[in-house]
Amino acid sequence: MKCVIGGGHLRVFGRAIHAIARISDEFWFDPVEKGLALRSVNSSRSACAYIFFSSMFFQHYCWTAGSKSFLPVFRCVNMLERNVEKCNIYTNINDRHITFQLICKHGRLHKVTFQKQKQFKTGRQYLV
């Protein structure tokens, strides 16, 4: 997976990260051909969240077949809006990392480890 988020959409993406982090201590990135889904379920499995970003949301989106540690990347949404031109998100299966690269005056690089998903059934559908 590789996608690029423009400065205008970065604020929306940051707020989505904060909203989904209120549900649980961890969440999953689910890249699919049509876009990127964020999923989260609380520890008692009584609440879940699902946010989907269409591939049209991104400046560039390439698809091939989590946790609160993402929050520091988006901790100050207002600062991101003023200083960040775009955000590159890509995975490297060999490293088991998702990399967030914020492109601004002084580029920043955040590497966050990820793990395999667990599948479980909710009242309406399967969340992966």
User: What residues does each domain of the chain span?
Assistant: 2-127
Tell me how far CA of residue 110 lies from CA of 29, 43, 88, 91, in angstroms. Answer: 16, 26, 11, 12
Distance of alpha carbon 52 from its chain centroid, rounded? 10
Query: If 0-12 CB within 10 Å is exposed, 13-18 middle and 19+ buried, where does residue 35 land?
Result: middle
Confidence (pTM): 0.59
Average pLDDT value for the chain: 75
User: Per residue in 26-78, pLDDT tens?
Assistant: 788 888 788 999 888 888 888 889 999 999 999 888 876 444 566 666 777 77
Exposed e or buried b per residue across 48-72, where buried means at least 16 C-beta atoms within 10 angstroms of its C-beta:
bbbbebebebbeebeeeebbeebee
pLDDT at 53: 94
Of 45 and 120, the structure prediction assigns the larger pLDDT to: 45
Please tell me the total number of residues recorded for the chain in this structure: 128
Q: Percentage of residues in the chain with pLDDT exceeding 70? A: 67
Query: If 0-12 CB within 10 Å is exposed, 13-18 middle and 19+ buried, where does residue 5 land?
Result: buried
| CATH fold label, 2-127 | Proliferating Cell Nuclear Antigen (3.70.10)
Q: Give the span between the Cα atoms of 13 and 68, in whole angstroms.
A: 15
pLDDT at 99 over 80: no
